[in-house]
Amino acid sequence: MIKKFLEHLGIFTMMLKDGVAKPENAKVYWKEFMEQCNDIGIRSLPIVLIISVFLGMVLTIQTAYQLISPLVPKPVIAGIVRDSAILELSPTVVCIVLAGVVGSKIASELGNMRVSEQIDALEIMGINTKTYLVMPKIIAALIMVPCLIVLSIAVTIFGGYIAGMFSSILSKEQFQQGLISGFLPYNIFFAITKAFVFAFILSAVPAYYGYNVKGGALEIGRASTTSVVVSCILILLADYVLSLLLL
Protein backbone atom coordinates (compact mmCIF):
# COMPACT_ATOMS: atom_id res chain seq x y z
CA MET A 1 0.00 0.00 0.00
CA ILE A 2 2.82 2.39 0.88
CA LYS A 3 4.61 1.46 -2.34
CA LYS A 4 1.48 2.23 -4.37
CA PHE A 5 1.01 5.55 -2.57
CA LEU A 6 4.61 6.57 -3.25
CA GLU A 7 4.21 5.56 -6.89
CA HIS A 8 1.13 7.76 -7.28
CA LEU A 9 2.86 10.60 -5.44
CA GLY A 10 5.89 10.37 -7.74
CA ILE A 11 3.78 10.39 -10.92
CA PHE A 12 1.70 13.26 -9.54
CA THR A 13 4.82 15.29 -8.71
CA MET A 14 6.34 14.68 -12.15
CA MET A 15 3.08 15.79 -13.78
CA LEU A 16 3.20 19.09 -11.90
CA LYS A 17 6.92 19.49 -12.62
CA ASP A 18 6.47 18.92 -16.35
CA GLY A 19 3.47 21.25 -16.35
CA VAL A 20 5.53 24.22 -15.20
CA ALA A 21 6.97 25.15 -18.58
CA LYS A 22 6.88 28.08 -20.97
CA PRO A 23 3.79 27.93 -23.21
CA GLU A 24 4.42 27.40 -26.93
CA ASN A 25 1.63 29.82 -27.89
CA ALA A 26 0.55 32.27 -25.20
CA LYS A 27 -2.72 33.22 -26.95
CA VAL A 28 -3.91 29.62 -27.18
CA TYR A 29 -3.01 28.96 -23.56
CA TRP A 30 -4.74 32.18 -22.46
CA LYS A 31 -7.92 31.12 -24.27
CA GLU A 32 -7.83 27.73 -22.53
CA PHE A 33 -7.23 29.43 -19.18
CA MET A 34 -10.21 31.76 -19.62
CA GLU A 35 -12.44 28.82 -20.57
CA GLN A 36 -11.42 27.03 -17.39
CA CYS A 37 -12.13 30.15 -15.33
CA ASN A 38 -15.60 30.22 -16.83
CA ASP A 39 -16.18 26.50 -16.19
CA ILE A 40 -14.83 26.49 -12.64
CA GLY A 41 -15.99 29.90 -11.49
CA ILE A 42 -19.00 31.21 -13.39
CA ARG A 43 -20.77 27.89 -13.96
CA SER A 44 -20.30 26.89 -10.33
CA LEU A 45 -21.76 30.15 -9.08
CA PRO A 46 -25.45 29.08 -8.89
CA ILE A 47 -24.82 25.97 -6.78
CA VAL A 48 -22.46 27.90 -4.49
CA LEU A 49 -25.04 30.64 -3.92
CA ILE A 50 -27.86 28.18 -3.25
CA ILE A 51 -25.82 26.11 -0.81
CA SER A 52 -24.48 29.17 0.98
CA VAL A 53 -27.82 30.89 1.59
CA PHE A 54 -29.39 27.73 2.99
CA LEU A 55 -26.33 27.01 5.13
CA GLY A 56 -26.70 30.42 6.73
CA MET A 57 -30.43 30.02 7.28
CA VAL A 58 -30.16 26.55 8.81
CA LEU A 59 -27.19 27.57 10.97
CA THR A 60 -29.09 30.55 12.42
CA ILE A 61 -32.18 28.50 13.27
CA GLN A 62 -30.22 25.61 14.80
CA THR A 63 -27.97 27.95 16.79
CA ALA A 64 -31.00 29.79 18.17
CA TYR A 65 -32.60 26.46 19.05
CA GLN A 66 -29.57 25.38 21.08
CA LEU A 67 -29.04 28.75 22.76
CA ILE A 68 -32.48 29.04 24.31
CA SER A 69 -31.17 30.17 27.68
CA PRO A 70 -32.18 33.75 28.62
CA LEU A 71 -28.66 34.16 30.01
CA VAL A 72 -27.21 34.04 26.47
CA PRO A 73 -27.54 37.36 24.60
CA LYS A 74 -29.14 37.05 21.18
CA PRO A 75 -26.29 38.85 19.32
CA VAL A 76 -24.15 35.80 20.15
CA ILE A 77 -26.16 33.90 17.53
CA ALA A 78 -24.95 36.25 14.79
CA GLY A 79 -21.37 35.92 16.02
CA ILE A 80 -21.58 32.13 15.85
CA VAL A 81 -23.04 32.28 12.33
CA ARG A 82 -20.28 34.65 11.23
CA ASP A 83 -17.38 32.62 12.66
CA SER A 84 -18.83 29.28 11.53
CA ALA A 85 -19.26 30.56 7.99
CA ILE A 86 -15.76 32.02 7.83
CA LEU A 87 -13.81 29.29 9.57
CA GLU A 88 -15.50 26.10 8.42
CA LEU A 89 -18.80 26.03 6.55
CA SER A 90 -18.04 28.14 3.48
CA PRO A 91 -14.46 26.97 2.79
CA THR A 92 -14.91 23.28 3.57
CA VAL A 93 -18.50 22.49 2.58
CA VAL A 94 -18.39 24.52 -0.63
CA CYS A 95 -15.04 23.01 -1.69
CA ILE A 96 -16.31 19.49 -1.06
CA VAL A 97 -19.28 20.27 -3.30
CA LEU A 98 -16.94 21.76 -5.91
CA ALA A 99 -14.79 18.62 -5.71
CA GLY A 100 -17.81 16.70 -6.94
CA VAL A 101 -18.96 19.26 -9.51
CA VAL A 102 -15.65 20.57 -10.86
CA GLY A 103 -13.43 17.60 -10.02
CA SER A 104 -15.57 15.03 -11.81
CA LYS A 105 -15.72 17.28 -14.89
CA ILE A 106 -11.94 17.70 -14.98
CA ALA A 107 -11.30 13.98 -14.55
CA SER A 108 -13.86 12.91 -17.15
CA GLU A 109 -12.72 15.56 -19.65
CA LEU A 110 -9.05 14.58 -19.46
CA GLY A 111 -9.93 10.89 -19.29
CA ASN A 112 -11.98 11.13 -22.47
CA MET A 113 -9.14 12.92 -24.22
CA ARG A 114 -6.70 10.24 -23.09
CA VAL A 115 -8.90 7.33 -24.17
CA SER A 116 -9.72 8.92 -27.53
CA GLU A 117 -5.97 9.53 -28.05
CA GLN A 118 -6.38 13.30 -28.34
CA ILE A 119 -3.61 13.78 -25.77
CA ASP A 120 -1.31 11.51 -27.77
CA ALA A 121 -2.07 13.51 -30.92
CA LEU A 122 -1.20 16.78 -29.17
CA GLU A 123 2.08 15.34 -27.91
CA ILE A 124 2.98 14.16 -31.41
CA MET A 125 2.43 17.75 -32.57
CA GLY A 126 5.05 18.85 -30.03
CA ILE A 127 2.63 20.36 -27.50
CA ASN A 128 3.33 19.93 -23.81
CA THR A 129 -0.06 18.55 -22.81
CA LYS A 130 0.63 18.89 -19.10
CA THR A 131 1.17 22.63 -19.55
CA TYR A 132 -1.69 23.04 -22.02
CA LEU A 133 -4.34 20.83 -20.41
CA VAL A 134 -3.50 20.49 -16.71
CA MET A 135 -1.97 23.75 -15.54
CA PRO A 136 -4.75 26.09 -16.84
CA LYS A 137 -7.24 24.08 -14.78
CA ILE A 138 -5.14 24.31 -11.62
CA ILE A 139 -4.36 28.01 -12.03
CA ALA A 140 -7.99 28.82 -12.83
CA ALA A 141 -9.09 26.94 -9.70
CA LEU A 142 -6.53 28.80 -7.57
CA ILE A 143 -8.01 32.09 -8.75
CA MET A 144 -11.73 31.34 -8.95
CA VAL A 145 -12.30 29.10 -5.91
CA PRO A 146 -11.08 31.69 -3.33
CA CYS A 147 -13.38 34.22 -5.01
CA LEU A 148 -16.27 31.78 -4.69
CA ILE A 149 -15.41 31.20 -1.03
CA VAL A 150 -15.41 34.94 -0.24
CA LEU A 151 -18.77 35.27 -1.96
CA SER A 152 -20.05 32.20 -0.13
CA ILE A 153 -19.09 33.69 3.24
CA ALA A 154 -21.03 36.86 2.49
CA VAL A 155 -24.08 34.96 1.20
CA THR A 156 -24.03 32.56 4.17
CA ILE A 157 -24.08 35.47 6.61
CA PHE A 158 -26.83 37.13 4.58
CA GLY A 159 -28.83 33.88 4.64
CA GLY A 160 -28.47 33.83 8.42
CA TYR A 161 -29.68 37.42 8.56
CA ILE A 162 -32.75 36.60 6.42
CA ALA A 163 -33.60 33.57 8.59
CA GLY A 164 -33.21 35.66 11.74
CA MET A 165 -35.53 38.34 10.44
CA PHE A 166 -38.29 36.07 9.13
CA SER A 167 -38.20 33.78 12.16
CA SER A 168 -38.16 36.70 14.62
CA ILE A 169 -35.11 35.11 16.26
CA LEU A 170 -33.28 38.41 16.57
CA SER A 171 -33.68 41.94 15.28
CA LYS A 172 -31.63 43.73 12.65
CA GLU A 173 -29.74 45.68 15.32
CA GLN A 174 -28.96 42.53 17.30
CA PHE A 175 -27.66 40.74 14.21
CA GLN A 176 -25.43 43.68 13.24
CA GLN A 177 -24.16 43.93 16.81
CA GLY A 178 -23.28 40.24 16.78
CA LEU A 179 -21.45 40.54 13.46
CA ILE A 180 -19.22 43.34 14.70
CA SER A 181 -18.61 42.10 18.22
CA GLY A 182 -15.43 40.08 18.66
CA PHE A 183 -14.55 39.94 14.97
CA LEU A 184 -11.00 38.75 14.22
CA PRO A 185 -9.58 39.70 10.77
CA TYR A 186 -7.19 36.75 11.08
CA ASN A 187 -10.16 34.44 10.51
CA ILE A 188 -10.49 35.81 6.97
CA PHE A 189 -6.81 35.02 6.33
CA PHE A 190 -7.38 31.50 7.62
CA ALA A 191 -10.40 31.02 5.33
CA ILE A 192 -8.53 32.28 2.26
CA THR A 193 -5.56 30.02 3.06
CA LYS A 194 -7.90 27.04 3.25
CA ALA A 195 -9.53 28.11 -0.01
CA PHE A 196 -6.18 28.12 -1.87
CA VAL A 197 -5.17 24.71 -0.50
CA PHE A 198 -8.56 23.17 -1.22
CA ALA A 199 -8.60 24.70 -4.72
CA PHE A 200 -5.29 23.03 -5.52
CA ILE A 201 -6.55 19.68 -4.26
CA LEU A 202 -9.90 19.71 -6.07
CA SER A 203 -8.23 20.60 -9.38
CA ALA A 204 -4.87 18.79 -9.31
CA VAL A 205 -6.11 15.41 -8.02
CA PRO A 206 -8.88 14.97 -10.64
CA ALA A 207 -6.46 16.18 -13.32
CA TYR A 208 -3.99 13.48 -12.27
CA TYR A 209 -6.58 10.70 -12.37
CA GLY A 210 -8.08 11.87 -15.65
CA TYR A 211 -4.73 12.42 -17.37
CA ASN A 212 -3.49 8.93 -16.47
CA VAL A 213 -6.62 6.95 -17.37
CA LYS A 214 -5.95 3.62 -19.09
CA GLY A 215 -8.74 1.69 -20.75
CA GLY A 216 -12.14 2.76 -22.01
CA ALA A 217 -15.35 4.44 -20.93
CA LEU A 218 -15.68 2.26 -17.84
CA GLU A 219 -12.25 3.35 -16.58
CA ILE A 220 -13.16 7.01 -17.16
CA GLY A 221 -16.13 6.62 -14.82
CA ARG A 222 -14.01 4.87 -12.22
CA ALA A 223 -11.30 7.53 -12.45
CA SER A 224 -13.88 10.30 -12.05
CA THR A 225 -15.42 8.64 -8.99
CA THR A 226 -12.03 7.88 -7.45
CA SER A 227 -10.82 11.43 -7.99
CA VAL A 228 -13.86 12.87 -6.19
CA VAL A 229 -13.47 10.47 -3.24
CA VAL A 230 -9.73 11.12 -2.90
CA SER A 231 -10.23 14.89 -3.24
CA CYS A 232 -12.86 14.94 -0.49
CA ILE A 233 -10.65 12.91 1.84
CA LEU A 234 -7.63 15.12 1.17
CA ILE A 235 -9.72 18.27 1.70
CA LEU A 236 -10.88 17.03 5.10
CA LEU A 237 -7.33 15.98 6.00
CA ALA A 238 -5.96 19.36 4.91
CA ASP A 239 -8.72 21.06 6.92
CA TYR A 240 -7.57 19.25 10.05
CA VAL A 241 -3.86 19.96 9.43
CA LEU A 242 -4.43 23.65 8.68
CA SER A 243 -6.57 24.00 11.78
CA LEU A 244 -3.74 22.57 13.87
CA LEU A 245 -1.11 24.78 12.29
CA LEU A 246 -2.93 28.11 11.93
CA LEU A 247 -5.41 28.24 14.80
Distance CA 209, CA 111 (A): 8
**44 C-beta neighbours (distance < 10 Å), count:** 20
- The predicted structure's pLDDT at residue 17: 75
**Cα–Cα distance between 128 and 21 in angstroms, integer?**
8
Domain ranges of the chain: 27-37+44-246
Give the pLDDT of residue 72: 65
Are 147 and 48 in contact, with CB atoms under 8 Å apart? no
Specify the pLDDT at position 68: 66
Whole-angstrom distance, CA of residue 76 vs CA of residue 67: 9
- HEC string of 165-192 equals HHCCCCCHHHHHHHHHCCCCCHHHHHHH
Q: Mean pLDDT, consecutive 10-residue segments, the chain of 247 residues?
A: 74 75 73 86 89 88 74 76 85 89 87 82 79 85 91 89 79 78 84 91 89 80 87 91 85
Separation of alpha carbons 220 and 78, rounded Å: 45
